[in-house]
Amino acid sequence: MIKAYQKYWKKALKFNGYSSRKDYWWVFLVNTIIFAILSFIRTLITLPMVAKIIESSKNLSREETVEKTQALSLHPTGAILAMVILSAILGAVILIPNTTLVARRLKDAALPNVLAYLFAIAAFYGIISPFIGEKGLGVVSTVASILTLLIYILCLFPSKYRDDEDDDSRNYD
């Protein structure tokens, strides 16, 4: 796992070459764990604020309570905003390395590299969406999520060797 993550950063700007499924999914796991930790911390910060809103909801209508609770996500402030910004910065830092990793993985599976650029666009939208705050972009979010999921599925495809290559002849280092 550590070796795969080190290789991920060494090849951060390399679109050429190949990436094995193993290397791809180890990096995916590490990045998922990092973002899960950030999300957990954000939740720990948010819970006392939600509890405070619920406690004061005796004097508020149901709609006002829901609106105040949703405002914590739609218009974050303080420590919640700091966590949103930290997540966005981390997302921006890994955007290019993730795109190159996806491109190499897709190439290894004999799939078109253009899908990696679509992945980058969807990921970029995911990074900036917390700052847009428009409710009308639900369709865009759905399309970006579906596109990302489809590319994740394509990254599951096995390595596909050309006729002039021997199986297991690729150098993934």
**The pLDDT value given to residue 166:** 60
Question: What is the distance between the alpha carbons of residues 41 and 90, in angstroms, rounded to a whole number?
Answer: 15
Number of domains in the chain: 1
Q: Is residue 170 part of a domain?
A: no
Q: pTM of this prediction?
A: 0.81
**The pLDDT value given to residue 169:** 55
pLDDT at 55 over 60: yes
Q: Is residue 166 part of a domain?
A: no
Per-residue DSSP letter, 170 = -
Mean pLDDT (whole number) for 105-133: 87
* Sign of CA pseudo-dihedral 31, 92, 77, 142: negative
Local confidence band at 92 (pLDDT 50, 70, 90 cut-offs): very high
CA 141 to chain centre: 13
Q: Is residue 77 part of a domain?
A: yes
Q: Is 157 left (phi over 0), alpha (psi -120 to 50) or beta?
A: beta
Q: Is residue 168 part of a domain?
A: no
Mean pLDDT (whole number) for 68-77: 79
Q: Is residue 34 part of a domain?
A: yes
Q: Is residue 173 part of a domain?
A: no
Q: Is residue 69 part of a domain?
A: yes
First to last CA, the chain: 14
Q: Is residue 160 part of a domain?
A: no
Mean pLDDT (whole number) for 160-173: 63
